Each structure stands twice: as C-alpha cells, then as structure tokens.
Amino acid sequence: MPIYFCVSLSYCYYQHQQCGSCNKTLAWQDSSSAASAKIEADSKPWFLFYGEDSQCHLYNISQRKCKMSIPELDGATCIASNQGWLLIFKQGSMFFYCPFSRAKIDLPKFPHMVLSEHASAFSSPPTSCECIVAVMHPDLEYGLELYVLCRGADTWTRRKLDSAIQYELSAFGMATYMNETFYFFDRKNGIIISPVKDKSCLRYDVVKKDNSTTRKYFVPTRSPFVESDMKKKLGLGEDVPVSICGTIRQYNCNDIIMFSEDLEAAKESENRHLKGVWIQPRFFQVSPNQSWSL
C-alpha cells in the first residue's frame, strides 16, 4: 500500500533531495506510521517542465522553480496525470511514475510504438487493485480505438469504435474517469463516454445549462497553461512549441478538468519541442518489488 504524506512534507523532502535547500531532517520511519496523513484535495497542481534530455524544472504554487534530473523522462511523454501519479509513454513502453519519490511501476508493453492525437486516463492510483488504464488512439488502418488495461492483466484489450462516433470529432483535449466510466473530451464540445462494465462507447455533445444551481461534476479549463501565463513564468519565448498534459483537481466537490494543450511556435523555431505536465504534489512510497501484477 502507498504511504501518503501532506504537501508540506513532500515538498520539504523533494527540496532536500534535489535542491539542497531544506535543512530539516525528516524521520520517515516515524512519519510512515501516519499512513493516512491529510492531503489538501483543493490544492493547486504544480507544473513539471521537461523535454531537454533528463533535465526538468518543477514550478510550484509559490512560484518557486527547482531544477532536477529525471532520467525516466528522457525521450518520454506524459500521457496522463492524476492524484500525484504520472502515466509515461516511451516507444511502446508504459509505466507509472511519481517524481516526488521516484516510485515507478511498469505496465505491459503497449500495442503501438507511437502515440498521436491520443487521450488517456486511469481510474485510481496504480497501487489500487481496482486501477484501470484507458488510452483512446486513432489508428490509420482501423480508425479510432480504445485500449484498456486492468490491474493484474498482462495484455491490453482493444475496442474498435463505430465509425459514426468518430464523425466530426475534433482533437482530444482530456480524459478522465468517474463512476466506473471513462470520459474522453475533445477540444470543442464533443465527448465520448465509455462505461467499463458494458464496454460500449457513446458520443455526446456537451451543452451548457443555464440553471446555475445545477451541480457541475466536470468543470473544464481548456487553456490552463495559457491562462496562467506559464511561458512567461518559465522564461520561454513565443518561438518555442510546448505540449502540455493536463490533470484533474478537486474543488468544491467538483472535478476541475485542466485540458491538455499543444502550443505551436509563433514562428519557425529551432529543434526544440518542450513538454510539460500538471501534477498534484503528493508523495508515494512503494515497495521496490511493487508490480502491476496482483
């Protein structure tokens, strides 16, 4: 089982390990006894910036930036982020990774070596027996496909989507999971809903309701990177293209969906294409023998 620590402890540990700016000595054996330590569910996510070899930058809510080396992200792409875990893809290999503790859990090899125009989500932390991973991916030969992997399975299950579902669907913006159902949002108003139990896929148009008293389970934020002026905060020029993986955060009992973004360069740039991911600052300690198998 993972050990959860509050945000302040995870950040102090992280600074001590990576930046040398924390002089406190943390007694992890004592802290581990509080396995149910409080996590600030409404805290804003941090931003992990990568794409240049293994060198990465972590930008937190206090506008402090920390530089570190994460070899696992060299040549890799983060395709989903939730509850402090990142789902990483690299040339067909896929694994869960927590940059705050370096915890890593490998998954069975994905059927494709390259992912493009995809949307991915997982139902719960990879240490949970109920964890399910879903990847929506367009295939040149078969069209739009959904790949699903349940905890303990050693192969991916493929579901081919009906051609009518793919009609007029724009590029994917984000994917999430709720009530045993995966939701795949496009960048406009389309959404594909895939319940886990009946293995169906249905397409809907998202319509904004006028009644403000109606509870909103999903609150989309389509351009969080742009709206936060992150390029300026990271010191990036407009000539640098950036691909950002979104995440989900909780606020007032709603899921705030921070969409993924692909920002093209304002003009022709050099061979730089950087990446970033929104991540919730949580620390997970897992056994070195932790695996996807049950």
Name residue, tokens 């989507």.
161
Query: Which span out of 23-32, 129-138, 188-197 was modeled with the highest average pLDDT?
Result: 129-138
Lowest mean pLDDT among 110-114, 157-161, 207-211, 271-275: 207-211
Give the tokens for residue 142: 């078969």
The span from the CA of 277 to the CA of 76, in Å, is 12
Give the global pTM: 0.81
Alpha-carbon distance values, 144 to 137, 172, 195, 276 (Å): 6, 11, 17, 25
What is the 3 state secondary structure string of 247-265? Answer: EEEEECCEEEEECCEEECC
* Average pLDDT of the residues in 221-234: 86
Q: Residue 79: left if φ>0, alpha if ψ -120 to 50, beta else—which one?
A: alpha
- Which residues does residue 184 pair with via DSSP β-bridges, in sequence order? 175, 192
The Cβ of residue 58 has, within 10 Å, a number of other Cβ atoms equal to 24
Write out the two tokens for 194.
């895939």
Local confidence band at 60 (pLDDT 50, 70, 90 cut-offs): confident
